[in-house]
Structure 1
Amino acid sequence: MSAQLSRRNFLKAAGASALLVGFTPRGLLAAGYEDSTLNPFVRIDSDGVVTVILKHFEMGQGTSTGLTTLIAEELDADWASVRIDFAPSDTAKYKNLLFGAQGTGGSTAIANSFMQYRKAGAAARDLLVRAAAEQWGVGVDRIRIDKGVITDGQRTAGFADVIHSAARLEPNPEPQLKTPDQFKLIGKLKLPRKDSIAKTDGSAQFAMDVKLPGMVYAVILRSPRFGGRLTGFNADKAAEIAGFIDAKALPNGAGVAVYGKNTWAALKARDAITAEWDFSDAEMRSTGALIEAHRELTAAPQYQARALTTDAVQARLSAAPRTLDAEFVFPFLAHSPMEPLVCVIEPTASGVRVHDGCQFPTVAHGALSSVLKLKPEQVEIKTLYAGGSFGRRTTPTADYHVEAAMAFALLGGKTPVKMLWSREDDIHGGYYRPMALHKASIALDADGAILGWDHRVAAKSIVKGSAFESALVHEGLDHTTVEGLADTLYQVPNMALGVSDFLSPVPVLWWRSVGNTHTAYVMESLMDMLAHERGEDPIALRLSLLDRSNKEQARMAGVIEAARDMSGWQPGQKRGFAAHYSFNTFVAVVADITVEGNKVHVDKLHMAVDCGVAINPDVIRAQMEGGAGYALGAIMRNEITLDQGLVVQDNFPQYLPLRMPDMPEIAVTIVPSAEPPTGVGEPGVPPTGPALANAIFAVTGKRITELPMTTAGFSFV
């Protein structure tokens, strides 16, 4: 480029209309206009509007607000006018730094993006400051930005006035970040969410809303038993349904794609089809037999998750004056997001475009390319809002994307297809939280001190056989099965942890807080049982098992004490307590309940959370409340059961969601912290259930070790 044709003039001549600031594939800060090597996190249009590009999608957890806060804070943008947009599917540009792939989950969005987005915002601000200083002929120390207005004390300008000048400048590789005392948005108690207005006025687009010209609707007739294979079908009666288009066997033998001119036609036609299945490799057992199979596996663990083995601790158990023994049983659980799975696939000039609330674009992108035999660059994913997920939208198999791709291809690959799951499909469809069984034997001396701890777990592995196995399975052990136990912060002497993999065609998947959903319940119930056995206050016992010279244990003690203090806890009160560390976040809960006969009402939860720097306190509180509500709904009533391999539950009447009268008052205390931010989407779930269970024991004397709690004879009002 010659001196006469500056970058700025070149960009103007080319009609460039937006300044992009982000990173190169090598992780270096960069700025430019429509630069194909740049993964922009900030876009400033010619009218001065700032748009934050979100590499994590929004399923209600507040990511769109959190990431935008980081950019707007460092950029000093006007919060009210900042817009958001979801990033395209591009792993090289938008990978999750903790996964190595583009995806949202594991409560990692803010944790992995904290410095990335702050640096991008700070780099954009630095470019604008230097551009303004150059235009006005003043030093950069004279320039201030506040709510999107640039000033030197005498003159003012908007971002639009300087973006072309800024475009010819090289971004500072290490822009100066704000110190906490300079924050205006981070930590602000009330900051309007970026998705609230669109979701309120109906302008927010979900995959369920997408309707394209010529689009047809497709549903899948699946095997009634997991592992069944299609051998034949008859659609003669379906042809009598108004709006029925066609029915075609899926090439993988998993079912039949049924097409209709509308949702109703597709669903009614599916009901009219008769199909034959081969169940030779299918799950044929009932729930009782499945539980017994888990129980048998605990007799001889396949893997050891801690240095001390279960065999080695047996001598301590045999010689102990007394032991504390317990068995815990957890059912399969569905995710049941309010928006069932749905996506739309349409042909483009070069390949296909998929409209989806896409949680893991890298996996979906790869699966779509493989099924449709397209190059990756021929597949476009347009990410939309998702109406909840709780883990269901991110299967290692990209199951519903694969179904959509097959249905699209079977119809000729020229017609847009909307793939739909009904609520019954969701409940029957598998990919459940695994059934799990725990057995614990704790050796105690005469004074109740722990001499040894034999803990055994049987559950189906979520990741074995998947693309995630190499990262999450070590020496045969799937750590997600025992997270929260193998890495417990409590200083438990002589603890052994044996694990066995249950095998079944029933597909399982991470469910909000993954293994912590059952490990926290067991550990916190056992802590309560120990306290009762020793005649000790449950909170005092837990604090005695934490070493405050260790930073993580000190933070755990901090939330325990915060929950104790905020709730006015006193030893001897008939209340429940539990605490848990998951996703690098610490949460403690005190539960207050009322019991009349066998009827239980959860009156109030007192929750304390330490999640590092609190980016959006209001979002954190909402996630604690939502996590607690999700946990209560599942733990009180929910289970997926099988009768000779057939799922018993059909819809919400049999798989009850949390109802308004169930929701208790919830008080949340956010423990101040200068540590880097950690996750809040999942950590509220694990301690809530055991806090309720421990409260029920405190009031009634009945210990609940098999879920849901209705199996113990309690009802909830």
Structure 2
Amino acid sequence: MNAPLNISRRTFIKATALVAGGLVIAFAIPQAKRFLLPGETKAPADASGSKLPAPNAFLRIGTDNTITVLLAHSEMGQSIWTTLPMLIAEELDADWSKIQVEHAGAAPQYVHTAYGIQITGGSSTTWSEFDRYRQAGALTRALLINAAAQELGVAKETLRTENGFVVSADKKISYGELAEAAAKLETPTTVVLKDPKDWKIIGKATKRLDSAAKINGTAKFGQDVQFEGLKTAMVARAPVFGGKVKSFDASASKQIKGVQNVVQVPTGVAVIADNYWSAKQGRDALKIDWDLGPNAGLDSKKMVEDYRALAATTGTVAAKAGDSQAALKQAKTVVKAEYVAPYLAHSPMEPLNCTVKIDKDACEIWTGTQMQTTDQAAAAKILGLKPEQVTIHTLFLGGGFGRRANPAADFVSEAVQVAKAAGVPVKTVWSREDDVKGGYYRPMFLHQANIALDDKGLPIAWEHTAVGQSIMLGTPFETVMIKDGVDATSVEGTADSPYLKSIANHQVQLHTVKADIPVLWWRSVGHSHTAFVMESLIDELANAAKRDPLEYRRELLKDHPRHLAALNLAAEKADWGKPLPKGVFRGIAVHESFGSFVAQVAEVSVNAGEVKVHRMISAIDCGLAVNPESLTAQMQSSVSFGLGAALQSEITFKDGQVQQSNFHDYQVLRMKDMPKVEVYIVPSTEKMGGVGEPGLPPVAPAVTNAIFAATGRRIRTLPIGTQLA
């Protein structure tokens, strides 16, 4: 495969240089697209109409034979620290033991090949970088071969590479020995990529490169940042979203040993101290008179009632075909149902934190972030600097799930404000309670559906209404993601459902609620609630038709081979239809998101109202699986994350305040409740999709469908909690 690089001589000379006696490679793919999902081809223009710079990334080869890959994305547990270097190592014929990895800084050359900003999200890293990281390896290999050909005085066609060496008939030269000479050569305009049949690394299960550092404690997270003169801050924020400081008394706080300063910032009152404990004690001692604002009466139960009333009115049409209302009126059998999914916190194991050091004409930031571009721009705006004057040191993320990719740049902006007000370098730290109560939740949604069945039990009309907040409204992505009043993330998985596409009469409506509760994408975004609803409804229809849930899905999805492939593989591995131990029941669900197709089978028992998930069987078609080992880990992670949300997690409001505070009342899955998880990969040559998120959406419906099989009770509100007690 010949891959055009489109790198000019001038561009290459600028970006390729001797670094510590080695070779630096800059590589680029032109015509970056913004906000595209796998399979889309047309890139919307950005809001300003300007063309964004082509994305770049870098590779270094040292004279000591080390190969350092700089990641344009952030490692937060999803294993791109290993997967992306695999792409380079494959085409480079590198010695895997010599591979090192670093996070790249925040800079225009590192923008996402599809989204046009530097971001890690949307389960997009591997498929978006598949071409340019391979091309980087192939380009580097070509330069090394050319350098060796000159040194040996032979034709380059007579040379080959293997395991970090260029090999001639009777000689071999290490990449490190060739690095300096290669740095001075003219860059090729095209490179030849390997045929997949010749891959030695891509597609093979590969152990993580970051495991050792995370085990021995040398991996650096935001909480680990420490240097001379650095102080720690905690911020007292309003107990109600939208609340403001009327006045405060810091006299008691300043008496606490280690407290150095107390300053007011836009988000509240910050206590700056020598260490975390002093900052926390100082914050606890603050006396603040709050203006709670207009949201002091927020109540979750009342909000659900309001959503229900809104669902009874006409909404904005998100998808429509035929005349569903007329078809429903004529139908003999109609299934009606209402589903509710709560607000959810991201709750990464590492709470939010950000270290900021401000100089006269520069700012340095150390944090785990998923969205460097927006964080850099926000900091620059606060300080009156240019974005390039703000350096962001991306560290390992102790979990993100979307929380650290906030268009509002909330926790970074706050940390910059604190350091600016304090006049010293400050690490602003959130406690677990701050994290749970601090907002940017997966929005609550209410769904109502009326579905007409024919005499064979198949759907012939489908009316669907969704009510909830938009995560895109008011963000820079609004113009791209909200069309004709419909936030695509609110209806993904419903408006584009394969089930609805096969029904001649269907309509999906959306009511977008405006509220002062800050919301954000959460792992799998809208699919996190729409898959629960759609796959539960399909089970309801199968029950109404007196059909086996698996066979019913097979009939409805007969024209969707990738759905079927995942569904059939999961069912086969679960021995669907064969007897289970007494008291154990199965449920199944299948869903597409982020370009991947996932089926989950849950084996569940219910005793005295307590739900126990014994086994989850997962099957995924994501196209090419670059690293099956990391794919398996992400599917297991999705099961854990999804089960916690399905069984226990919710954010609720009373008198305007969040009722949860820590893991005792915002519960995530405990180790004792983790089921056995089996992961199976559908062999596929289809376009690559994501892996980090698609495993989650079918988890909840697979479990609730199993609960129905066990008890005859349909769970329509999450979390399951004590509903069966």
Which amino acid in the other structure matches residue 575 of structure 2? G
Q: Does 1:273 align with 2:286?
A: yes
**Is 1:545–2:556 an aligned residue pair?**
yes
Q: 2:344 matched to 1:333? A: yes
Question: RMSD in angstroms over aligned alpha carbons?
Answer: 2.2
**Deviations along 1:301-325, whole A, 9 cap, x unmatched?**
431110338xx42222222112101
Q: Which residue of 1 aligns with 2:441?
A: 432
SS at 1:575 equivalent: strand
Give 1:142 shift: 2.4
- Preserved CA contact (<8 Å) 2:222 2:354: yes
- The 1:208–1:200 alpha-carbon spacing in structure 2 relative to 1, beyond 3 Å, is same
Q: CA deviation at 1:141?
A: 2.8
Question: Please, which of 246, 249, 268 is the counterpart of residue 264 of structure 2?
Answer: 249
How is 1:313-712 mapped onto 2 (pairs within 5 angstroms)? 313-348=324-359, 350-412=361-423, 415-490=424-499, 491-548=502-559, 553-570=560-577, 574-712=585-723
- 1:184-223: per-residue Cα shift (whole Å, max 9, x none)? 111112x121111111111110010001111111111111
Amino acid at match of 2:211: S
Out of 381-390 and 568-577, give the one that drifted further: 568-577
CA distance in 1, matches of 2:225, 2:258: 19
User: Do the aligned partners of 2:55 and 2:112 also contact (CA within 8 Å) in 1?
Assistant: no
The 10-residue stretch of structure 1 (606-615 or 153-162) with the greater mean CA deviation from structure 2 = 153-162
- Quick one: distance in 1 between partners of 2:180 and 2:261? 55
AA matched with 1:431: Y
| Structure 2 match to 1:307 | 320
1:260 aligns with 2:273: yes
Q: Does 1:196 align with 2:211?
A: yes
1:610 offset after TM fit, Å? Answer: 0.6
Question: Equivalent residue for 2:43?
Answer: none
Q: Which stretches of structure 1, 4 residues or longer, exceed 3 Å deviation after superposition?
A: 8-16, 24-28, 36-40, 571-574
Cα pair distance change 1:465/1:10, threshold 3 Å: closer
Shift in CA distance, 139/656, structure 1 to aligned 2, threshold 3 Å: same
Partners of 2:412 and 2:233 in 1: how far apart?
12
Q: Return the alpha-carbon distance in structure 2 between the equivalents of residues 683 and 9 of structure 1.
A: 41
- Distance in 1, matches of 2:149 and 2:172, equals 11
Q: In the alignment, does 2:300 pair up with 1:287?
A: yes
The match for 1:134 is 150
Paired letter, 2:212: I
Task: Spell out, residue by residue over 1:570-616, the C-alpha distance to the aligned partner (whole angstroms, 9 max, x if none).
Answer: 28974100000000000001111222231221111111001111100
Amino acid of the structure 1 residue aligned with 2:81: S
Aligned to 1:381, the other structure's residue is in SS state strand
Deviations 1:83-131 (A, max 9, x none): 001111012x011112110010000101110001011111111111121
Give 1:465 deviation, angstroms: 0.8
Alignment of 1:173 onto 2:163: no
Q: Aligned partners of 1:118, 1:15: CA distance in 2, in Å?
A: 22
Structure 1 Cα separation of the partners of residues 513 and 622 of structure 2:
34
Deviation at 1:472, TM superposition (A): 0.7
Query: TM-score, normalised on structure 2?
Result: 0.92
User: Structure 1: 5+ residue runs without aligned partners?
Assistant: 1-7, 29-35
Question: Do the aligned residues in 1 keep the contact of 2:650 with 2:719 (CA within 8 Å)?
Answer: yes
Contact 2:55–2:113 under 8 Å retained in 1: no
CA shift digits 1:218-257 (9 cap, x unpaired): 111111011112111111111221111121111x3x3111
**Alpha-carbon distance in structure 2 between the residues aligned to 1:595 and 1:610:** 31
Asked if 1:215 corresponds to 2:230, the answer is yes
**Aligned partner (choices 247, 266, 269) of residue 232 of structure 1:** 247
Look up the match of 2:44: none
Which residue in 2 is equivalent to 1:18? 22
Cα separation, 2, equivalents of 1:219 and 1:599: 39
Q: 1:13 to 1:611 in 2, by over 3 A?
A: closer
| 3-state SS in 2 of match to 1:587 | strand
Deviation at residue 9 of structure 1 after TM alignment: 14
Q: Provide, for residues 126-169 of structure 1, a one-character-per-residue CA deviation record: whole Å limited to 9, x for no partner.
A: 11112112211222232222211221131011111112221232
Does the CA contact (< 8 Å) of 1:489 and 1:581 recur in 2?
A: no
- Is the CA contact (8 Å cut-off) linking 1:351 and 1:374 kept in structure 2? yes
Match of 2:81 in 1: 64
SS for the counterpart of 1:83 is: strand
After alignment, is 16-25 or 299-308 more displaced?
Answer: 16-25
Q: 1:492 to 1:80 in 2, by over 3 A?
A: farther
Matched with 2:102 is 85
Tell me which amino acid in the other structure corresponds to 1:23.
F
Q: Pick one of 110, 113, 119 that aligns with 2:129.
A: 113
Q: Distance in 1 between matches of 2:97 and 2:131?
A: 23
Amino acid at match of 1:556: H
Aligned CA distance change for structure 1 residues 622 and 301 (closer, same or farther; 3 Å)? farther
Q: Are 2:198 and 1:182 aligned? A: yes
Task: Report the AA paired with residue 83 of structure 1.
Answer: Q
| 1:641 Cα offset (Å) | 0.9
> How many angstroms does 1:684 deviate by?
0.7
SS for the counterpart of 2:466 is: strand
| Displacement of 1:672 | 1.1
The residue number in structure 2 matching 1:159 is 175
Q: Which amino acid aligns with 2:191?
A: P
Asked if the contact 1:212–1:416 (Cα under 8 Å) also holds between the matched residues in 2, the reply is: no
Determine if contact 1:41/1:117 at 8 Å carries over to the other structure.
no
| AA partner of residue 166 (structure 2) | I
Structure 2 letter corresponding to 1:20: V
Deviation at 1:627, TM superposition (A): 0.5
Say how many residue pairs are matched: 688
CA distance, structure 2, for counterparts of residue 288 and residue 38 of structure 1: 47
* Equivalent residue number for residue 4 of structure 1: none
Partner SS state of residue 307, structure 1: strand
- Aligned partner letter, 2:246: T
What TM-score does the superposition give when structure 1 sets the normalisation length? 0.93
The separation in 2 between residues aligned to 1:66 and 1:371, in whole angstroms, is 36
Amino acid at match of 2:635: M
Distance 1:571 1:445 in 2: 30
Q: 1:332 to 1:411 in 2, by over 3 A?
A: same
Amino acid aligned to 1:193: R
* Percent identity for Structure 1 against Structure 2: 41
Change (3 A) 1:235 1:570: same
Amino acid at match of 2:86: T
Whether the 8 Å CA contact 2:81–2:209 is kept in 1: the answer is yes
8 Å contact kept, 2:339–2:716 = yes
Instruction: List runs of 5+ in structure 2 lacking aligned partners.
Output: 1-11, 33-52
CA distance in 1, matches of 2:545, 2:504: 16
